[in-house]
A and B are shown apart, each in its own frame.
Chain A
């Protein structure tokens, strides 16, 4: 195995909470991302799953450096993204692109599609206007849109077509890593499949590395080589997709998998129904953050935070049950 493309080490993002007294900073903070470690190998797809509020989108914005981490290190091709100067960051950004969830909000309504796709080239001063125009036409072709449409505005396209435009834009600068933040969850199923196929196809064609964030476990399973499950700002389980889907170790992963809707009217699913709500990320419960809702809770879980324990090679989960099994 080669060197990881991206290595995230002990990354934390805490958003300060507005205090009740004006001008007095509150000591509380929302721990959106709390001590997250993982790496991404070149050419692979890492899936990040979790429910709303688990910090997966914050993580995406951290890697893309739209926001800065409170603590931690993020090495992209051996350069720490956190300590880079503004200028160096701009060049690194050429290599990390992002596709956002909402295909309607992520395209400037006042710009023509051709201008939008050309913009990354303009920003980074690549080529002259003729070669840029050629690239735009080429990109539209690649994502399966008619280059004739480049003079139209984004709102004249359907959701799936817009997402194709977004993907074309992300491809413009030939990046190595693309972070897809729920790229298909706003699309209809039939269109969803088109966009997923496109993403897979592009990955092969351009040797792309993806970080694929989604709440749809079937989509993630189909897209990803490895999967990280997040709960309340932490990665609770990470491993290859076979491991995660066929022998999930963390009770939360198990509950998540059991909640996937059935696939036929004949199927009757045994469900782990979780009780209660996701606790507040301002004051997460002591010990394991999941213990209040866990069906297998033990005394130890209430006081001690379980570390990520390796169960097999490349499969780790943070749960006290694993130790117990071994014993």
Chain B
């Protein structure tokens, strides 16, 4: 007798449910956080800059001009001035974004793949395997990164690939730890037992249940790691171990700029600011990501 009103109500609930779903969608949750939205925006700009560098840059990045050395910002058509070789700072910053992003992302992907694999094995199977893997990771973590990079660079030589390789290796233990910790807690969950009692094999449990439930902190950590890798690349380049001149990199620009800190402070300042803004916005984005990725958290 109340069927009609009941179904009306059900429809109403359905509608309310859908509205709530929309409210809780990932992007909305992410962008509701103002700082994360800012970080996200800067990152988009950065990616576009890197991709379309040849069109954005006003000069070729390696073009030297001895007649136009150490110009200030805005002088003679150079937006941000020139360096001691007369190369356009603005264009070099634009091209530098490419290096930073490539190294940051590639090194983290490298570290994440191998680190996660080790972390999952270690956390899921435990026992002796766990002890061995984690002791090796501890050893790697105790080893100073710069020293590790120097060793790798001297063995394999310098170059973009090797920078990625070195930073990637340095990232492995961090990922292994994060993933292992996550796997340890996920594997204790009731639903893993349920799945096992259904007769599922380890591979299924790992790839269908353990990994998907460990992925959120992994993504957050990876985002933060990209910021770290960009700094690492800049440090290596600053020390002259990174990308080789004349390739533009923010680290090497900072290094060159430091000699002119008194007369032309903007040289070092600009590249320093580029690093700062990039790393900051990635971290802000990562923080927002952490909150938005939690399916149970309502912001």
Which residues of A are in contact with B by a Cβ distance under 8 Å?
A: 61, 64, 66, 89-91, 93-94, 96-98, 100-102, 105-111, 119-120, 123-124, 153, 155-156, 166, 169, 173
Q: In whole angstroms, how far apart are the Cα atoms of A260 and B189 in the complex? A: 31
Closest to A60 in B: B197
Given A93-B199, A155-B295, A110 contacting B194 (CB threshold 8 A):
no
Q: In whole angstroms, how far apart are the Cα atoms of A103 and B197 in the complex? A: 16
Chain A residues, CB < 8 A from B194: 98, 100, 106-107, 166, 169
What are 28 contact pairs spanning A and B, CB under 8 A?
A: A66-B197, A93-B198, A98-B194, A98-B197, A100-B190, A102-B190, A105-B191, A106-B190, A106-B194, A108-B195, A108-B212, A109-B296, A110-B212, A110-B213, A110-B295, A111-B208, A111-B209, A119-B208, A120-B198, A120-B199, A123-B198, A123-B200, A123-B201, A123-B204, A155-B295, A155-B296, A169-B194, A169-B198
Count contacts between A and B, CB distance < 8 Å.
66
Residue among B193, B194, B209, B212 with the highest chain A CB neighbour number at 10 A: B194
Given A155-B295, A155-B296, A109 contacting B199 (CB threshold 8 A):
no
Chain A residues, CB < 8 A from B9: none
Chain B residues, CB < 8 A from A124: 199
Cβ-defined contact, A66 with B193, below 8 A: yes
Closest to B10 in A: A146
| B 184-235 contacts with A by CB, 8 A | 189-191, 193-201, 204, 208-209, 212-213
For B, the interface residue count at a CB cutoff of 8 angstroms equals 20
Query: Chain B nearest CB: distance from A177 CB in Å?
Result: 12
Chain A residues, CB < 8 A from B191: 105-108
Q: In whole angstroms, how far apart are the Cα atoms of A153 and B197 in the complex? A: 21
| Interface membership of chain B positions 9-24, coded 1 if the CB is closer than 8 angstroms to chain A and 0 otherwise | 0000000010000000
Main secondary structure of the interface of B (DSSP, over half): helix
Closest to B192 in A: A108
Cβ-defined contact, A97 with B198, below 8 A: yes
| Interface membership of chain B positions 57-80, coded 1 if the CB is closer than 8 angstroms to chain A and 0 otherwise | 000000000000000000000000
Q: In whole angstroms, how far apart are the Cα atoms of A96 and B146 in the complex? A: 56
Cβ-defined contact, A123 with B199, below 8 A: yes
Given A98-B194, A100-B193, A102-B190, A90 contacting B295 (CB threshold 8 A):
no
| B 149-207 contacts with A by CB, 8 A | 189-191, 193-201, 204
Query: Chain B nearest CB: distance from A125 CB in Å?
Result: 11
Chain A residues, CB < 8 A from B189: 105
Given A102-B190, A153-B295, A108 contacting B213 (CB threshold 8 A):
yes
Not counting A107-B194, A153-B295, a sample of 7 additional A-B residue pairs whose C-beta atoms are within 8 angstroms of each other reads A66-B193, A91-B199, A93-B197, A93-B198, A93-B199, A106-B191, A106-B193
Chain B residues, CB < 8 A from A101: 190
Q: In whole angstroms, how far apart are the Cα atoms of A106 and B189 in the complex? A: 7
Closest to B211 in A: A110
Cβ-defined contact, A97 with B204, below 8 A: no
Cβ-defined contact, A105 with B190, below 8 A: yes
Q: In whole angstroms, how far apart are the Cα atoms of A123 and B204 in the complex? A: 8
Closest to A166 in B: B194
Q: In whole angstroms, how far apart are the Cα atoms of A89 and B198 in the complex? A: 11
Query: Chain B nearest CB: distance from A280 CB in Å?
Result: 24
